[in-house]
Amino acid sequence: VLDSDGIRELHEKLIIDTAAALDEGLGERAMQIHLQRIVGAYVGSAHGAGQFYSRSVTEARDATAKAACDDRDEDVGGPVGFDSAAQRKREFAADMALQAHALRMAAEGAVNAYEQVVGEVWKPFERPVENPGQSVDRKAADLQMAALG
């Protein structure tokens, strides 16, 4: 049994304490960028764990369905005292569920802290893309025309 609230609160406090320690050395924008990256790492880790868990569940379901077919010899139960491959996959998926949940709670705490420190809801960073198809000559012409009024 995981202490979900404890994990979330601890990570929230960790980010808030980190921001407080850096407050003297970082300006407001620098703090926002730094926390954006840190929170992004937590969210990315939780997202990856969730995807891995989902794949593990799919594999466990597939193995369990195959094991239910009486005509297949390769999926019969293991020797006495050993689990079948399907059972091992189900147990592995259950372990991955706990890990994914723990990382989600850590990410939620980090996201909550970001909002408290920065004053905005966290969202993934997206680099603005200038019109990539535009040539340098076209950009220069646009700037020249804008200067002319």
* Digitized pLDDT (tens) for each residue of the chain, 149 residues in all: 789 999 999 999 999 999 999 988 888 889 898 999 999 999 999 999 999 998 998 888 888 887 666 555 555 555 555 567 888 888 898 989 999 999 999 999 999 999 999 998 988 877 776 666 667 787 888 888 888 87
98 falls within a domain: yes
The answer for residues whose C-beta is within 8 angstroms of residue 11's C-beta and 6 or more apart is 42, 105, 106, 107, 108, 109, 110, 113
Residue 109 in tokens:
């705490």
Residue 71: per-residue pLDDT: 57
Give the integer Cα–Cα distance in Å for 20 and 103: 23
Looking at the 3D structure of the chain, how many domains does it have? 1
Q: Which domain holds residue 15?
A: 4-126
21 falls within a domain: yes
Q: b/e map of 90-106 (b: 16 or more CB within 10 Å)?
A: beebeebbeebbbbbbb
141 falls within a domain: no
87 falls within a domain: yes
138 falls within a domain: no
Residue 70: per-residue pLDDT: 57
80 falls within a domain: yes
95 falls within a domain: yes
137 falls within a domain: no
In Å, the largest CA–CA distance within the chain is 86
- Is the alpha carbon torsion for 13, 18, 24, 30 positive or negative? negative
Give, as one character, the DSSP assignment of residue 102.
Answer: H
